Amino acid sequence: MSSPATGSGALGQPGTRPGRSRLTSGGLAVLRGSVRISLIQLAVHDDEPLSERVRRVGDLVRAQRGADLVVLPELWPHGAFAYQRWATEAETLDDPTVHAMSAAARDLGGWLHTGSLIERASDLQLYNCSVLLDPHGDIAATYRKIHRFGFTEGEAKLISAGEEPVTYPAPFGTLGFAICYDLRFPELFRLLVDRGAEILVIPAGWPARRVAHWRLLLQARAVECQAYVLGCATAGEHCEVRMSGHSMVVDPWGEIVAEAGEDEEVLTVEIDPARVAEVRRDFPVLRDRRLGLPAPAPRG
């Protein structure tokens, strides 16, 4: 079972680790036993320059040394509602923000999910893109947000839609990727489960006025998918929009393992990835599916 949070605060420091073994595969550790996750609930404000925020976030990531996976929120470099800045601040994945996060991942010695940033693709289209960095600082996976928020304005008007659900077999379990508004579309999460997802990583820039939806949907996705859910939100206020906070880790039974408050903090928890297989074995609801794609094959 998962343990309560082991640390919080703007510079949450790693605590004492329970024992677990490390094997190696391709130069990267393969973990057995508990896994330490740190969600950095970053405050985003209008008056902080991009370069200073990137530097501050790099320091926050390094401060989590000892974590196996660190997660950042959606669009923390620019602001999830700072639409007017996106075109000028958009970067390729070979530009300063990803380079800075790559260096932070190397110093961390763990996996870093960079939340998301506005990516300028080679065809000059803009995407809301997540990047997963391995402990060497190399890009392991990317995901372009499929469902764009705003209906006829904002993200829906300015950003191109991603097309491909993405999972990645990390050493501690298969990660499934989604971003913010994706959370409202359960069919995406079924696809991720069918592709082996055990830990769903959901960075968000969720507004405070809909925080009840955020909390409810995180638990719903965990229950439906019988998977861990890591919801990492922003705090603070920008463009006159107050952000939700309330980053959360939910276990495969839908229980809240740990939850942040409304302000900037680091939420650190220990999870046991074996809990996913345990819940799916003891309450095998996924094998009774009748519609859509076939249920995932049992794992050894």
Q: Packing angle between helix 50-62 and helix 96-108, nearest 10 degrees? A: 10
Answer whether residue 284 shows pLDDT above 70. Answer: yes
Arithmetic mean of pLDDT, 66-74: 98
Q: Which member of 129, 180, 225, 232 is catalytic?
A: 180
Structure tokens at 47: 């008056």
Which residues on adjacent β-strands are paired with residue 169? 174
Locus of tokens 């740190």: 38
Is the whole model's pTM more than 0.75, yes or no? Answer: yes
* 21-30, 40-49, 84-93: range with lowest mean pLDDT: 21-30
Answer whether residue 20 shows pLDDT above 70. Answer: no
CB of 250 closer than 8 Å to CB of 260: no
User: Which CATH topology does 34-288 take?
Assistant: Nitrilase/N-carbamoyl-D-aminoacid amidohydrolase (3.60.110)
Question: Mean pLDDT for the chain?
Answer: 89
Q: In which region does residue 150 sit, left (phi positive, over 0), alpha (psi from -120 to 50) or beta (all else)?
A: left
* 2-6, 13-17, 22-26: range with lowest mean pLDDT: 2-6
157 is catalytic: no
Domain map of the chain by residue range? Answer: 34-288
What's the confidence (pLDDT) of residue 6? 37
Q: Which amino acid is at 116?
A: S
Q: Which member of 145, 225, 232, 265 is catalytic?
A: 145
Arithmetic mean of pLDDT, 122-142: 97
Arithmetic mean of pLDDT, 261-275: 97
Arithmetic mean of pLDDT, 249-258: 98
Report the percentage of the chain scoring pLDDT > 70: 87
pLDDT band (50, 70, 90) for residue 21? very low
Report the percentage of the chain scoring pLDDT > 90: 80
Residue 11 exposure: Cα atoms within 13 Å on the Cβ side: 5
pLDDT band (50, 70, 90) for residue 33? confident
* Tens-digit pLDDT profile for residues 188-212: 999 999 999 999 999 999 999 999 9
Q: In which region does residue 230 sit, left (phi positive, over 0), alpha (psi from -120 to 50) or beta (all else)?
A: beta
What's the confidence (pLDDT) of residue 2? 32
pLDDT band (50, 70, 90) for residue 32? low
239 is catalytic: no
pLDDT band (50, 70, 90) for residue 136? very high
* 4-13, 129-138, 187-196: range with lowest mean pLDDT: 4-13
Arithmetic mean of pLDDT, 109-113: 98
The closest alpha carbon to 67, from 167, 174, 176, 172, belongs to 172
Q: What is the 3-state secondary structure (H, E, C) of 77-142?
A: CCCCCCHHHHHHHCECCCCHHHHHHHHHHHHHCCEEECCCEEEECCCCCEEEEEEEECCCCCEEEE
pLDDT band (50, 70, 90) for residue 15? very low
145 is catalytic: yes
